[in-house]
Amino acid sequence: MALSPDSEPVLAPPPDGASSTTPGPDLPLGSTERWRRLTAAFAHELRHPLEVISSNEKSMSEYLTILANLVTEYDRLVKAMKTRSKEEIAEHRRRIKSLREREEISFVLEDAPVLQRETDDSVVRLRRLAKRLDSLVERHPDDPDAFCEALLAVVEERGPRFS
């Protein structure tokens, strides 16, 4: 592993012709290269759901701001209606219509549930992975070779499910 400028661990690329995600049976179980490849595969399994969650969080944050602005304008319209000022009511209606068009409220309302489902699925995937890893630690506390093989099976989605 090398350190990035931000002092985050960075996995070095595999040698030419080597798979970046599969340790492979040709390498001894305890070999550094096999562990390195296994670690890269595991990092890949974590990275995807985390990227989905991060991306969706940013979009949902933007959507909440848009919807909060819309609610504020509706509140102003309600207050204006109580004063019965036709000019104020017309102005707030115009601002709400403009806000709905500018911010594409219908898209926000359509996309938000999709983002929520994707985020929920990613959280479930991470929880399932954590549960399976806990199970591996319990099953192979003193056998690093067996643990490595079981972890490889989990990462490659070919091993027994522990969820």
pLDDT surpasses 70 at 160: no
Query: Which tokens hold the place of 76?
Result: 């102003």
- Report helix, strand and coil shares of the chain as percent, to nearest 5: 70, 0, 25
Question: In the structure, what pLDDT confidence band is assigned to residue 102 with cuts at 50, 70 and 90?
Answer: confident
Taking residues 3-11, report their average pLDDT: 34
Query: Which tokens hold the place of 94?
Result: 């115009």
pLDDT, one tens digit per residue, over 39-89 is 787 788 888 899 999 999 999 999 999 999 888 888 888 877 787 678 888
pLDDT, one tens digit per residue, over 108-146 is 999 999 999 999 999 998 898 888 888 877 887 787 777
pLDDT of residue 6: 39
Distances in whole angstroms, Cα of residue 106 to Cα of each of 24, 69, 92, 102, 109: 49, 15, 19, 11, 5
Question: In the structure, what pLDDT confidence band is assigned to residue 27 with cuts at 50, 70 and 90?
Answer: low
The answer, as to whether pTM is greater than 0.85, is no
Give the whole-angstrom CA distance, residue 43 versus residue 2: 15
- Quote the DSSP letter at residue 11: P
